[in-house]
Amino acid sequence: MNVDGAMKQDRRGFLRVAGTTTAALALGGLPFAAHAARAATEKLKIGVVGSGRVGGTLGGVWVKAGHEVMFSSRDLEHDKKLAANLGPNARAGTPREAAAFGEVLLISVPYRALPDVGKDLGNLVKGKVVIDTCNPIPSRDGDIATWAREKGAGLASAELLPGARIVRGFNAIGYARMGAAHEQPGRIGMPIAGDDAQAVAVASRLIREIGYEPVLIGGLAMGKYLMPGTPLAGERTPDQIRQIAATLK
Taken in order of first residue, the domains within the chain and their CATH numbers are 3-42+109-245 (3.40.50.720)
What pLDDT shows up at residue 174? 83
What pLDDT shows up at residue 27? 32
What pLDDT shows up at residue 28? 33
Angle at alpha carbon of residue 45, lines to 192 and 214, rounded to 5° = 20
Q: pTM value?
A: 0.84
Identify the segments of the chain with pLDDT beneath 70: 1-41
What pLDDT shows up at residue 26? 30
> CA dist 237 to 73, 184, 244, Å?
32, 12, 11
CB 126 within 8 A of CB 163: yes
What pLDDT shows up at residue 179? 79
Q: How far apart are CA 75 and CA 73, in angstroms?
A: 5
Give the tens place of pLDDT for each residue, 156-175. Answer: 999 999 999 999 999 988 88
- Of 148, 138, 227, which Cα lies nearest the Cα of 191? 227
Alpha-carbon dihedral sign for residues 136, 140, 143, 146: positive
Alpha-carbon dihedral sign for residues 209, 46, 204, 134: positive
